[in-house]
Structure 1
């Protein structure tokens, strides 16, 4: 959970009020010390969430709260953005910027706990309900029939898929096991659209969330299970191009 407000007394008071309500509603959360835009964005890239963000609109920093929310959406599209600001007139701007805010709390009642807390409670109840819905949604899976074998694998547990050269066969490497199936890799890739996969390589599909390190000069990609995949310079440039657009 992030609270971004450039006024230290207001930020501390908000943190006390919001965390007490999170505790009362039995949220599982951790309050990040990051509050400046650059720090928030750095933390979000490492922990994409969905997170909860309480953002002041008028930040005396390199970007304002609306611009910060817009950038957050690049990394945490399902996160919950709540604007806390004295600038009620800027509410339409938050919608125009497509920040998809969960709520807007006016600072008119700041430091008045009796008036402010109900606004926080209302927003947190909405967030809790939506989180419960997200958790109830089934995890996206890859389902394959290969001869007498039926596979149903969670996409987030797939490390990578590799085409077996010369054969109509694909090797699927998961976090704890490896499967060889008689399926074209292209057919498998058609089911890898809901996860975070890079499907532009002819012979591989890589789970971005399972990549540990990339050496673009040597064409090496290290995965979480310890496997180190080697690609030609012509091939690895496709992956470099992807990261340059992000």
Structure 2
């Protein structure tokens, strides 16, 4: 799974990179930080060109013409099941995710470093579990049953012989 970080504060961005790299190394997860940047357009470009499910850590208040929530909304168009996590110090802006229909996995507040680390790791574990479940579902063998113009797909495991 590829991980993307969009945070305009270099210190905060580096802190998140360190937390995530340490988690990946210690837990030996099949993940990588594909991009850590302050440029939302770089993240969006990566999302457009990716053929996999991503995990996106986005600051809500970016120092550009696009905020993190709008970025999340644009990412959602290219990665509809991607994991979007907002990392912010602006709790009053969380309602905008409903306006833009982003369907965020989590909102993590930057104020408490210990909580930040715990929540980032929790999000990575949840994203990894979901990806495994999706991969498992895609590898299930099915049989197509046709009746007229209708087709029904049944998993072999659900058929009792």
Q: TM above 0.5, one fold?
A: yes
Task: Give CA deviations for 1:51-100 in whole Å, capped at 9, x if unaligned.
Answer: 01000000111210000000001110111000000011212211221111
Offset at 1:136?
0.9
Which secondary structure state, in structure 2, belongs to the residue aligned with residue 33 of structure 1? strand
| 1:48-197 matched pairs, under 5 angstroms | 48-109=51-112, 112=113, 114-139=114-139
Task: Give the Cα–Cα distance (whole angstroms) in 1 for the partners of residues 139 and 73 of structure 2.
Answer: 26
Whether 1:37 and 2:40 are equivalent positions in the alignment is: yes
Offset at 1:135?
1.3
For the Cα contact (< 8 Å) 2:17–2:36, is it kept in 1?
A: no
Identify the residue that residue 19 of structure 1 maps to in structure 2: 21
* Number of equivalenced pairs: 145
Offset at 1:49?
2.1
Q: Which of 16-25 and 95-104 deviates more? A: 16-25
TM-score, structure 2 normalization? 0.78
Task: Give CA deviations for 1:166-193 in whole Å, capped at 9, x if unaligned.
Answer: xxxxxxxxxxxxxxxxxxxxx8xx99xx
TM-score, structure 1 normalization? 0.53
Q: Which of 9-18 and 29-38 deviates more? A: 29-38
Which secondary structure state, in structure 2, belongs to the residue aligned with residue 16 of structure 1? helix
Which secondary structure state, in structure 1, belongs to the residue aligned with residue 65 of structure 2? coil
RMSD: 2.4
For the Cα contact (< 8 Å) 2:88–2:108, is it kept in 1?
A: yes
The 3 A distance-change label for structure 1 pair 106 and 34 is closer
Which secondary structure state, in structure 1, belongs to the residue aligned with residue 66 of structure 2? coil
The 3 A distance-change label for structure 1 pair 9 and 34 is closer
Task: Give the Cα–Cα distance (whole angstroms) in 1 for the partners of residues 72 and 126 of structure 2.
Answer: 19
Which secondary structure state, in structure 2, belongs to the residue aligned with residue 2 of structure 1? strand
Answer with 1 or 2: which has the greater Rg: 1
Task: Give the Cα–Cα distance (whole angstroms) in 2 for the partners of residues 25 and 17 of structure 1.
Answer: 12
For the Cα contact (< 8 Å) 1:81–1:102, is it kept in 2?
A: yes
